């Protein structure tokens, strides 16, 4: 008996819902069966509603690549939208001839997609033995306009191709271009290995080759290999400068390996042999640094003082004097520290060194419970044109100093200034926590509250003060509702309804093709706010968090800096702090017993969720591992016994390594996230040194004492992100502050 239209519709909806249930449950066979029912019910509707795309996405996710490719290929949509999905499936299947057919289809693609397709075409030609065709495309990809990811690979592929063709002249040209222009790249290191295997003995005995190979290996942290070439240069180079440079780096690699005791001995031996003033000064600084790393503080002071007469106004003397300041602090030699300023002036210390001296004076005075002296040094440290975050940090510290002096009202006023200026930065978050912990001492709160209740339109300044000092949730909620009225009214733009029903992007979003939706949307189609909101949302849903987050941050900047993030629409907060690679992170965090939000914060700041990221320091992948650390951690995991550096670009491997490493650091640092974050960036040795200056209990002191500018900024960024992740998804704070004695 034929079904009535309403019965057919009911049956259609039944199977459509069952499909969604099975898709969510990752039950591919049953989901596929439901798609079959839908197709047989109404083949025309099945095609019009693009159910083939749902089949393609589901099949690809479960590894049924032939089914996925066929579904993408047969889907009745514009070729330019589905080409990259087809390409992805064909590449995974190794269907090189089909890749070439796809490249020849003439589909109109975006610029980024054209680069992807061109690189895939060259790879396919190479795999099929059509080396001439591959050469032509790789030559095109070496052009300056080519994105670096494809350009560097093209240089390497051409070098490799020409060596196979025994055209050494052209092979050397491309290998040497990589080594000279991009020595820290993976491809430069691959080119070194390639030449070691392909070149003859005469070529490999050239000093110029040793220099290139040594520098590339050093930049890629392949220290055993760099030592081999630096030793050759030290033994055979004609130039004094080149020999001194090689000796210097032979010693420095021990410091890079966190072997300061060995490095100190090597520097001590090398110093008398160095003939050039530049490397003498540089090696003296590094020798003093290794002594400090070894805890030989008196030797640091004696070394720096003994060389100050010979190296007057030398840059490396000034750098060495930073080490002397730290050594004096650990020695507790306050009187020598007080007189050091005169000697600094005599040797031409610059403003940066005096800043460092005054910063140490501030914290040392506080540790000596001398707030008056701390304030003296802080005022010396302040400058008229300080950057915003430097002013924020100085105000935060002045608040703690005033508190120590017993002036709690002044302290609270200073912390309010910090919170009002930028409540979402690390210093603003610390100021807010200090206010929350000590707000009961602010005697003027209820008089200000009376003003709030009396005024019809209270000022933003009054509302901010009340918001950060509110004694309970009800007070804060009432103030927040008034504060929100001072925000731009943008929420009505954060919706797909701003697009017409006929817009292609809306159509793709409706069938779950979010990458296509994002690709179809252009800025001219809608308002800036709607454009960035939809782009961020769709890239996130498509699994492209590294693209989503940039649009989310642009969107957040439509609000003034003074707005606390918790007052922004929840959707914006989640776009700025997205949960990407969630299943992998949750699994590995549980396996290693670490906080998944800490992993998310580290990934966000390390790579912005770009799995192919590589830094100038040779750190790779989502969690930006350097090779030596990655190989060490991989040895602890049974699943990664066959680990190679290429695996760092795979999310599963990168996150597994990251979770294990964070677990190790948390164990070594008594579960303290601040020390763990700092060690993730700078190494355990550096963190243990900083702890000897600032102690174990005061996180704000520790951040002040971090001597690496990169690590100081890194700590602030990751701790800020960690806090916001905890707040957005768990309504908790991750900011740690010292317990101040009530005054």
Q: What is the rounded CA–CA span in Å between residue 163 and residue 176?
A: 13
Domain that holds residue 66: 5-129
Q: What is the rounded CA–CA span in Å between residue 13 and residue 19?
A: 10
Residue 489: its pLDDT value, please? 82
- pLDDT category at 219 given cuts 50, 70, 90 is very high
Average pLDDT of the chain, as a whole number: 92
The closest of 45, 95, 48, 42 to 68, measured between CA atoms, is 95
Q: What is the rounded CA–CA span in Å between residue 401 and residue 369?
A: 10
> Looking at residue 620, what DSSP letter applies?
B
* Domain annotation covers residue 158: no
pLDDT digits (tens, 9 = 90+) for 664-686: 999 999 999 999 999 999 999 99
Residue ending a domain, among 558, 592, 615, is 558
Neighbours of 521 (CB within 10 A): 22
DSSP string, 681-700: HH-HHHHHHHHHHH-SS-HH
Burial of 603 (0-12, 13-18, 19+ CB in 10 A): buried
3-state secondary structure of 555: helix
Computed on alpha carbons and rounded to an integer, the radius of gyration of the chain in Å comes to: 31
pLDDT digits (tens, 9 = 90+) for 329-362: 999 999 999 999 999 988 888 899 999 999 999 9
* Domain annotation covers residue 457: yes
Residue 436: its pLDDT value, please? 87
Q: What is the rounded CA–CA span in Å between residue 433 and residue 468?
A: 9
Q: What is the rounded CA–CA span in Å between residue 567 and residue 366?
A: 36
Overall average pLDDT of the 468-480 stretch: 89
Listed range (162-171, 515-524, 549-558, 671-680) with the worst mean pLDDT: 515-524
Do both 725 and 586 map to the same domain?
Answer: yes
- pLDDT category at 441 given cuts 50, 70, 90 is low
Listed range (382-396, 535-549, 604-618) with the worst mean pLDDT: 604-618
Residue ending a domain, among 542, 558, 574, is 558
Whether residue 647 is predicted with pLDDT greater than 70 in this model: the reply is yes
* Domain annotation covers residue 69: yes
194's CB contacts (< 8 A; 6+ apart) are 156, 159, 160, 163, 175
Do both 610 and 521 map to the same domain?
Answer: no
* Domain annotation covers residue 593: yes
Whether residue 310 is predicted with pLDDT greater than 70 in this model: the reply is no
- CA 539-540-545 angle, 5° bins: 90
- pLDDT category at 371 given cuts 50, 70, 90 is very high
Decide which of 471 and 266 is more confident: 266
Q: What is the rounded CA–CA span in Å between residue 722 and residue 9?
A: 48
Do both 539 and 650 map to the same domain?
Answer: no
| Backbone torsions φ then ψ of 387, nearest 5 degrees | -70, 160
Whether residue 741 is predicted with pLDDT greater than 80 in this model: the reply is no
CATH of the domain at 690: 1.10.530.10
Q: How distant, in Å, are the alpha carbons of 9, 30, 43, 512 from that of 40?
A: 13, 16, 6, 22
Q: How distant, in Å, are the alpha carbons of 436, 437, 511, 580, 703 from that of 737?
A: 11, 9, 48, 29, 11
Percent of the chain topping pLDDT 90: 71
Do both 656 and 692 map to the same domain?
Answer: yes
Overall average pLDDT of the 579-605 stretch: 97
* Domain annotation covers residue 510: yes
Q: Helix and strand tally (H, E) in the chain?
A: 42, 0
Whether residue 152 is predicted with pLDDT greater than 90 in this model: the reply is yes
Overall average pLDDT of the 611-618 stretch: 80
Whether residue 586 is predicted with pLDDT greater than 60 in this model: the reply is yes
Q: What is the rounded CA–CA span in Å between residue 452 and residue 33?
A: 63
Do both 519 and 479 map to the same domain?
Answer: no
Overall average pLDDT of the 465-471 stretch: 90
pLDDT digits (tens, 9 = 90+) for 692-723: 987 767 899 999 999 999 999 999 999 999 99
Q: What is the rounded CA–CA span in Å between residue 234 and residue 256?
A: 19
Cβ proximity of 514 and 491 under 8 Å:
no
Do both 540 and 649 map to the same domain?
Answer: no
Distance of CA 194 to the CA centre of its chain: 31
Whether residue 313 is predicted with pLDDT greater than 70 in this model: the reply is no
The closest of 31, 125, 126, 11 to 71, measured between CA atoms, is 31
Residue 312: its pLDDT value, please? 58
CATH of the domain at 81: 1.25.40
Whether residue 1 is predicted with pLDDT greater than 70 in this model: the reply is no
3-state secondary structure of 220: coil
Overall average pLDDT of the 223-231 stretch: 96
* Domain annotation covers residue 21: yes
Q: What is the rounded CA–CA span in Å between residue 717 and residue 677?
A: 10
pLDDT digits (tens, 9 = 90+) for 54-81: 889 889 988 999 999 999 999 988 888 8
Overall average pLDDT of the 121-137 stretch: 97
Q: Which residue has the tokens 């159910």?
A: 51
DSSP string, 703-716: HHH---HHHHHHHH
* Domain annotation covers residue 721: yes
Do both 496 and 473 map to the same domain?
Answer: no
Residue 455: its pLDDT value, please? 84
Overall average pLDDT of the 264-289 stretch: 91
Q: Which residue has the tokens 């978050």?
A: 429
Distance of CA 588 to the CA centre of its chain: 19
Do both 9 and 80 map to the same domain?
Answer: yes
Overall average pLDDT of the 604-611 stretch: 95
Residue 612: its pLDDT value, please? 87
Listed range (158-172, 298-312, 351-365) with the worst mean pLDDT: 298-312
558's CB contacts (< 8 A; 6+ apart) are 488, 490, 528, 529
* Domain annotation covers residue 717: yes
Whether residue 654 is predicted with pLDDT greater than 70 in this model: the reply is yes
Do both 451 and 502 map to the same domain?
Answer: no
Residue 337: its pLDDT value, please? 97
Domain tally, the chain: 4
Do both 467 and 513 map to the same domain?
Answer: no
Residue ending a domain, among 129, 147, 177, is 129
Do both 499 and 617 map to the same domain?
Answer: no
Do both 723 and 588 map to the same domain?
Answer: yes
Q: What is the rounded CA–CA span in Å between residue 369 and residue 365?
A: 6
Q: Which residue has the tokens 């922004």?
A: 568
Overall average pLDDT of the 620-647 stretch: 88
Whether residue 311 is predicted with pLDDT greater than 70 in this model: the reply is no
736: left (phi over 0), alpha (psi -120 to 50) or beta: beta
pLDDT digits (tens, 9 = 90+) for 172-190: 999 999 999 999 988 999 9
487's CB contacts (< 8 A; 6+ apart) are 559, 560, 563, 567
pLDDT digits (tens, 9 = 90+) for 488-501: 888 777 888 888 88
Listed range (33-42, 411-420, 442-451, 568-577) with the worst mean pLDDT: 442-451
Overall average pLDDT of the 3-17 stretch: 90
Cβ proximity of 217 and 211 under 8 Å:
no
Our CA dihedral for 282, 288, 290, 295, rounded to 10 degrees, sits at -170
């Amino acid at each position: 008996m034929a079904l009535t239209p309403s019965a057919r519709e009911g049956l259609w909806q039944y199977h459509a819902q069952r499909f969604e249930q099975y898709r969510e449950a990752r039950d591919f066979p049953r989901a596929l069966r439901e798609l079959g029912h839908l197709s047989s019910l109404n083949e025309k509707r099945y095609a019009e509603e693009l159910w083939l795309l749902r089949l393609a996405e589901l099949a690809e996710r479960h590894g049924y690549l032939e089914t996925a490719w066929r579904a993408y290929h047969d889907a009745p949509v514009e070729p330019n939208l589905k080409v990259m999905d087809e390409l992805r499936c064909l590449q995974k299947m190794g269907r090189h001839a089909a890749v070439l057919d796809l490249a020849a289809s003439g589909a109109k693609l975006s610029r980024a997609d054209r680069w992807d397709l061109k690189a895939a075409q060259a790879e396919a030609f190479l795999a099929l033995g059509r080396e001439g065709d591959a050469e032509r495309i790789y030559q095109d990809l070496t052009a300056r306009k080519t994105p670096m990811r494809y350009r560097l690979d093209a240089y390497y592929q051409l070098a490799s191709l020409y060596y196979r063709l025994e055209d050494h002249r052209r092979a050397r040209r491309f290998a040497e271009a990589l080594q000279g222009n991009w020595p820290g790249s993976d491809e430069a290191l691959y080119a070194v290995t390639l030449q070691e295997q392909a070149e003859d003995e005469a070529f490999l005995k050239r000093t110029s080759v040793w220099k290139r190979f040594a520098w590339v290996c050093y930049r890629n942290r392949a220290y055993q290999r760099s030592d081999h070439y630096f030793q050759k240069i030290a033994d055979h180079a004609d130039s004094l400068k080149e020999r001194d440079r090689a000796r210097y780096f032979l010693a420095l690699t021990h410091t890079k390996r966190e072997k300061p005791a060995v490095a100190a001995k090597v520097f001590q031996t090398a110093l008398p042999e160095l003939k050039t003033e530049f490397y003498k000064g540089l090696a003296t600084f590094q020798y003093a640094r290794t002594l400090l790393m070894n805890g030989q503080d008196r030797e640091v002071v004696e070394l720096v003082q003994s060389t100050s007469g010979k190296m007057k106004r030398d840059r490396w003397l000034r750098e060495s004097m930073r080490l002397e300041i730290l050594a004096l602090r650990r020695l507790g030699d306050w009187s020598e520290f007080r007189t050091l300023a005169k000697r600094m002036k005599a040797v031409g210390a610059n403003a940066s060194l005096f800043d460092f001296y005054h910063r140490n004076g501030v914290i040392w005075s506080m540790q000596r419970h001398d707030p008056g002296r701390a304030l003296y040094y802080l005022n010396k440290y302040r400058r008229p044109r300080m950057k915003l975050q430097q002013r924020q940090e100085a105000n935060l510290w002045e608040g703690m100093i005033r508190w120590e002096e017993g002036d709690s009202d002044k302290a609270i006023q200073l912390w309010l200034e910090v919170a009002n200026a930028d409540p979402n930065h690390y210093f603003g978050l610390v100021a807010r926590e200090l206010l929350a912990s000590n707000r009961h001492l602010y005697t003027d709160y209820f008089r200000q509250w009376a003003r709030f209740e009396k005024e019809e339109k209270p000022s933003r300044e009054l509302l901010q003060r009340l918001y950060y000092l509110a004694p309970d949730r009800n007070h804060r909620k009432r103030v927040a509702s008034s504060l929100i009225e001072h925000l731009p009214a943008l929420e009505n733009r954060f919706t797909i309804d701003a697009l017409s029903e006929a817009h292609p992007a809306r159509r793709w979003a409706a069938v779950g093709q979010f990458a296509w939706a994002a690709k179809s949307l252009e800025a001219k189609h809608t308002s800036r706010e709607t454009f960035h909101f939809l782009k961020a949302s769709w890239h996130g849903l498509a699994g492209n968090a590294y693209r989503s987050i940039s649009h989310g941050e642009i969107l957040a900047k439509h609000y003034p800096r003074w707005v606390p993030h918790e007052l922004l629409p929840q959707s914006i907060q989640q776009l700025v702090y997205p949960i990407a690679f969630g299943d992998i992170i949750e699994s590995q965090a549980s396996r290693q017993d670490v906080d998944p939000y800490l992993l998310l914060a580290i990934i966000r700041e390390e790579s912005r969720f770009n799995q192919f990221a590589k830094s100038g320091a040779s750190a790779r992948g989502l969690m930006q591992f350097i090779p030596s650390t990655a190989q060490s951690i991989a040895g602890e995991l049974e699943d990664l016994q066959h680990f190679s550096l290429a695996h760092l670009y795979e999310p599963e491997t990168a996150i597994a390594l990251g979770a294990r490493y964070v677990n190790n650091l948390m164990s070594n640092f008594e579960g303290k996230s601040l020390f763990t974050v700092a060690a993730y960036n700078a190494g355990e040795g550096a963190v243990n040194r900083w702890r000897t200056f600032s102690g174990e209990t005061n996180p704000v002191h520790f951040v002040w004492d971090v001597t690496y500018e990169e690590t100081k900024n890194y700590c602030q960024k990751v701790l800020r992100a960690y806090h916001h992740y905890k707040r957005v998804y768990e309504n908790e704070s991750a900011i740690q502050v010292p317990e101040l004695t009530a005054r």
